[in-house]
Amino acid sequence: MPTPRDVLPEPHVCEQARLSRDARFDGVFFTAVSSTRIYCRPVCPAPPPKPSNVRYYANAAAAEADGFRPCLRCRPELAPGHPAWRRGEHVVARALEIIEDGALSAGSLDEVASRVGVGGRQLRRLFVEHLGAPPLSVHTTRRLLFARQLLTETTLPVTEVALAAGFGSLRRFNAAFAQANRIAPRELRRQPRAVDAGDALVLRLGYRPPYDFEGVLDFLRTRALPGIEHVEAHAYARVFGPAESPGWLRLSAWPGGEHALKLELHCPQPGRMLPLVTRLRRMFDLDAEPQAIGATLGAGGVLAPLLRRRPGLRLPGGWDGFEIAVRAVLGQQVSVAAARTLAARIVERWGEPLPTPGLPGLARLFPTPERLVDADLREAGVINARAETIRGIARALLDGRADFRPGQPLESFVASWTALRGIGEWTAHYMAMRALSHPDAFPAADLILRRAAAGDGGELSTRALSAMAEAWRPWRAYAVMHLWRSTADPAQASRKRA
């Protein structure tokens, strides 16, 4: 179980990182300056303050709870999320996932606490102990930092910014913003930085380097569903619902070598922007810390050369849990290309057409559980057993026997899904990898994994691979990505043939 000391690097490490402006520590800690009452990212371009005036915090909410306000130069709202609390089985990590999913926007703290198996008072105590701020402060800081980004990088009216940040009242938003930033929202717009992209907003989505964006695109490209998403040479695009008010997005590398992706977003409903950005950060694994992952996976053995070859390889998530589940079932014992063909037929037959396509060639939404629960999928060429499994998934989601809600322990998630007919350990772990972005999911029965891990042209048993993978916890899903990628690497493949 991590503690604050485990989460915050040692003081001498923080000191060296802030003096060198090391981007690998961006979001891992924040520097607060007692003389100015401002907190900054480690990469802040401002002259470094005296060490005697510096305090270190593991997250922005803790700095703001102590009365510091965010820097206008380095803009803490652009920092990646803290990796230690973005994933894992710890109560705080699970609660953070639930809060980021919007639970405190529509529900109570007691409901969040119940989902992670503790009481509301205990959850508050754990947040203060481990994060330095109570859950509501963490939630509010997150919303206000997103509002700062919208105010700085877009021309959205302040009223829409308030809605996008989850505030139902403009008066409450103005008061909360002024308290946290010591300025009114409109004051941030004296030097606008908005990028013109027609009817789309343009936002930076920061990450910690190294980041293998091309590797994520390669993975998504072979699985992209025609009509819904498209992977270009250097960008990912997709449409999203609801059908009566659809939107679209495009994600590419930020020009100029900045450690960020460029999000072009057309979202007719401002209140959906923060959940969409949160979903994209998870899908493209922007909050990962390559150093921590590499320290575990690269300690030796079969993964060490793979880590050296691709130190920035990430865990590509999926846009929607049901979409991933259908794809996982279609992919049982067939190739990725064959599963994609079947999924494309399902989209064409049961996907909901959009009245106004957002991007050329993208004009459908993936069918909902309601549309597939009674569908005869044999019309799309799906064999009867898998068709029944997909209908069973739809029924389970509709009646609440299984779900993709964030914050679930891996063991519980796998148990709930394998209780359904046609869902085995491989499928459940694959779904956990893609739908929950769980870092320790591990489909050990996968044939390609067992061959790649053998490393000598042989093939490990499922039990032998599971035993080997114990040393890779809690990052086994990243090991999966490295092993899968190694089989597609021409140089690696040629060495194996030799």
From CA 268, how far away is CA 249, in angstroms rounded? 12
**Helix/strand/coil for 231:** strand
Say whether 320 is catalytic.
no
Q: Which of 279, 266, 211 is nearest to 239 (CA)?
A: 266
Structure tokens at 483: 């092993």
Q: Which of 15, 155, 146, 7 is nearest to 84 (CA)?
A: 7
Structure letter (DSSP) for residue 359: B
From CA 175, how far away is CA 184, in angstroms rounded? 8
Angle between helices 135-153 and 170-181 (to 10 degrees): 90
Residue partners of 279: CB distance under 8 A and separation at least 6 = 319
Residue partners of 114: CB distance under 8 A and separation at least 6 = none
Q: Which helix (H) or strand (E) segment is 230 a member of?
A: strand 229-231
Q: Which of 127, 106, 105 is nearest to 116 (CA)?
A: 127
**Helix/strand/coil for 353:** strand
From CA 10, how far away is CA 360, in angstroms rounded? 51
Catalytic residue among 40, 44, 74, 267: 40
Structure letter (DSSP) for residue 233: S
Tell me which amino acid residue 95 is. Answer: A
Helices (H), 233-352: 273-283, 290-297, 304-309, 321-330, 336-350
Helices (H), 351-438: 369-372, 384-399, 410-418, 425-435
Neighbours of 129 (CB within 10 A): 11
Say whether 446 is catalytic.
yes
Structure tokens at 237: 């695009």
Q: Which helix (H) or strand (E) segment is 130 a member of?
A: helix 120-131
Please state whether the peptide bond connecting residue 311 to the residue before it is cis, i.e. omega within 30 degrees of 0: no
Catalytic residue among 212, 287, 320, 446: 446
Catalytic (active-site) positions: 40, 446
